[in-house]
């Protein structure tokens, strides 16, 4: 997704995103064409290619929304503990469950992981002084990827199970699993 603050660009990107989401509710992601997306958005193909590199790239509009909510929540917190970090993550995912279910059902959950992995180092640097425990810099990137993989796998299992657990239960499960992993 090409970044721009111009209102017409943002609006075009949103229309294309909404069109893809609507089509994904009706048919498989692989069978959706760029032409179908732009036709439904009432835009031409040139507008698509000015704004996006691929169909997968369109989904970054929604994924960026999730990512930005998470970044804002962490940046606006005074202190970060894993129970808060996990609760915030799962709460935002609950708010965005329709998109996450679509991604999962179309085999595109990895896009979420890629986006989060991409921002982890800079996000951590902006909030690392808020954590009560500081991990050795040598292991930090591994810890970030480990936690994100855990969050996303719990999220995908939750979706597969029909989303019956509460956000509190998901966050608690992450904390309990973390304790299990360090027990001897």
Tell whether 49 and 94 lie within a shared domain. Answer: no
Tell whether 113 and 164 lie within a shared domain. Answer: yes
pLDDT, tens only, 60-73: 999 999 988 988 98
Q: Which of 58, 78, 94 is the last residue of a domain?
A: 58
pLDDT, tens only, 133-172: 677 778 877 878 888 888 899 999 999 999 999 999 999 9
Residue-level pLDDT at 170: 94
- Binned at pLDDT 50, 70 and 90, residue 28 comes out as very high
Strand partners, 80: 131
Tell whether 41 and 79 lie within a shared domain. Answer: no
pTM, two decimals, is 0.86
Tell whether 109 and 126 lie within a shared domain. Answer: yes
Q: Residue 110 falls within a domain, yes or no?
A: yes
Tell whether 15 and 68 lie within a shared domain. Answer: no
Residue-level pLDDT at 58: 96
Enumerate long-range contacts of 43-51, CB under 8 Å, 24 or more apart: 43/12, 43/15, 43/16, 47/12, 47/16, 48/16, 50/2, 51/1, 51/2, 51/9, 51/12, 51/13, 51/16
Tell whether 51 and 65 lie within a shared domain. Answer: no
Tell whether 80 and 25 lie within a shared domain. Answer: no
Residue-level pLDDT at 130: 67
pLDDT, tens only, 83-137: 888 899 999 999 999 999 999 999 999 999 998 888 877 777 677 676 666 777 7
Residues 6 or more apart whose Cβ sits within 8 Å of residue 178: 82, 150
Tell whether 30 and 89 lie within a shared domain. Answer: no
pLDDT, tens only, 31-59: 999 999 999 999 999 999 999 999 999 99
Cα–Cα distance between 6 and 10 in angstroms, integer? 6
Tell whether 17 and 80 lie within a shared domain. Answer: no
Structural domain range at position 67: 60-182
Tell whether 46 and 126 lie within a shared domain. Answer: no
Q: Residue 151 falls within a domain, yes or no?
A: yes
Q: Residue 1 falls within a domain, yes or no?
A: no
């Amino acid at each position: 997704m090409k970044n721009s603050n111009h209102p017409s660009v943002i609006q075009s990107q949103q229309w294309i995103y909404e069109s893809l989401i609507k089509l994904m509710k009706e048919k498989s992601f692989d069978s959706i064409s760029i032409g179908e997306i732009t036709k439904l958005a009432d835009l031409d193909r040139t507008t698509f290619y000015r704004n996006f590199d691929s169909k997968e790239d369109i989904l970054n509009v929604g994924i960026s929304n999730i990512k930005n909510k998470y970044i804002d929540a962490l940046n606006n917190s005074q202190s970060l503990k894993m129970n808060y970090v996990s609760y915030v993550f799962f709460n935002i995912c609950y708010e965005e469950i329709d998109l996450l279910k679509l991604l999962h059902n179309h085999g595109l959950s990895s896009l979420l992981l890629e986006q989060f992995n991409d921002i982890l180092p800079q996000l951590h640097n902006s909030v690392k002084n808020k954590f009560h425990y500081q991990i050795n810099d040598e292991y930090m990137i591994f810890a970030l990827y480990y936690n994100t993989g855990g969050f996303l796998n719990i999220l995908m299992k939750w979706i597969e199970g029909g989303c019956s657990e509460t956000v509190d239960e998901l966050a608690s499960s992450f904390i309990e699993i973390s304790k299990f992993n360090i027990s001897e």
